[in-house]
Amino acid sequence: MKTLRFYSSSSTCLILLLHIFSLFLSSNTTPTTDREKFDSLLRLPHSGSARTRHRSKRVLFVGDFGAKGDGITDDSKAFKNAWEVACSIPTRTIILIPSGRTYLIHPVDIAGPCRSKVTLMISGTIIAPINPDAWIGLNRRKWLYFHGVNHLTIEGGGTVNGMGQEWWARSCKTNSTNPCRHAPTAITFHRCKNLKVKNLMIVNSQKMHMAFTNCMRVLASHLQVIAPATSPNTDGIHISVSKGVEVKDSIIRTGDDCISIVSNSSRIRIVNIVCGPGHGISIGSLGKSNSWSQVHDVMVDAAFLSNTENGVRIKTWQGGSGFASNIAFRNVVMDNVSNPIIIDQYYCDSQLPCLNQV
């Protein structure tokens, strides 16, 4: 084991303390046994296959609130009404989105706190509006927005589809003549505690697929997060200002970072992940616009990265301050990865050159 310390020569710097354990790099001829080893550890969601043990819990069917599930009718109001009832009940409640149906949901704000634990059982398919104009007058950064909820579980073996193709076509990263505009994160959790997200597929997000911001005690497991390699900024799972987050037993194949960890996050565990295509697993970027930031106590253990632009990466902007410390990468296998290990203190994601502050 080696401890590497990196200091920039500018007056404000980010100090990076990194432990790297057992990284295995390979060519395109990675033995099949490596893939089998990782694949065999994953139990992936199968749409509509979840078994529900309702016991004494109350079950609310979105159809009882007027949802059609035909993929054409706007079911947002029915979904929101079901949530408000479930959140007001003092006993554990399940909101059931049944298999075999497709529910069109426009941008929706799902707020807590609730009187008891709530489970959102997604066994069918939820889709976003195809046309970005559905966000006119609304927050373009959000689609399904959960905030202030404690003891929320989302599961069920179904699919959440961001229908992001038109958003990608309008992106300035797809066509430099397009204006650079915000695009929604498919599922955002903000200020949620004791959160579980498991056994789901999240596909084709408009931008990031899933984000945890200001959250505590999160478990995300048995997820498939899928988008084309050419889709811009479609991070799989984004963790910001959060503590005690575990992501495990999941497959992430997108057009950007499989997992990104930023902005004052700590106690993060990434275990048994298959990543690629995409940009790998990233800490940062940190320190943008001369800001102060810290990320510490991050463990990545057992990951298979294939056909990615990067492997494991830490990236910071010039002029920023703070630190990234106690970061460990263990048992990482890479196949056809362009840049296996990157520590970049000159990160610049800008159409214009960044000012050299050294």
Query: Which stretches within 160-202 are classed as H helix?
Result: 165-169
Q: What DSSP string describes 262-316?
A: ESSEEEEEEEEEEE-SBS-EEEEEE-GGG-EEEEEEEEEEEEEEESBSEEEEEEE
Q: What is the pLDDT along the chain (358 residues), one digit of tens a residue?
A: 333 333 333 333 445 555 554 555 543 444 444 445 455 445 555 545 444 444 457 999 999 999 999 999 999 999 999 999 999 999 999 999 999 999 999 999 999 999 999 999 999 999 999 999 999 999 999 999 999 999 999 999 999 999 999 999 999 999 999 999 999 999 999 999 999 999 999 999 999 999 999 999 999 999 999 999 999 999 999 999 999 999 999 999 999 999 999 989 999 999 999 999 999 999 999 988 888 999 999 999 999 999 999 999 999 888 888 899 999 999 999 999 999 999 988 888 777 788 777 6
- From the CB of residue 219, how many other CB atoms can be counted at a distance below 10 Å? 16
Pair 312, 276: CB distance under 8 Å: no
Q: Which residue in 151, 190, 209, 279 is the catalytic one?
A: 279
335 is catalytic: no
Distance separating alpha carbons of residues 342 and 153, to the nearest angstrom: 35
279 is catalytic: yes
Q: Which residue in 75, 235, 256, 335 is the catalytic one?
A: 256
Pair 39, 69: CB distance under 8 Å: no
CA-based nearest residue to 342, from 319, 316, 322:
316
Residues 6+ apart with CB under 8 A from 47: 99, 123, 124, 125, 157, 158, 159, 201
The conformation of residue 64, written as its DSSP 8-state character, comes to G
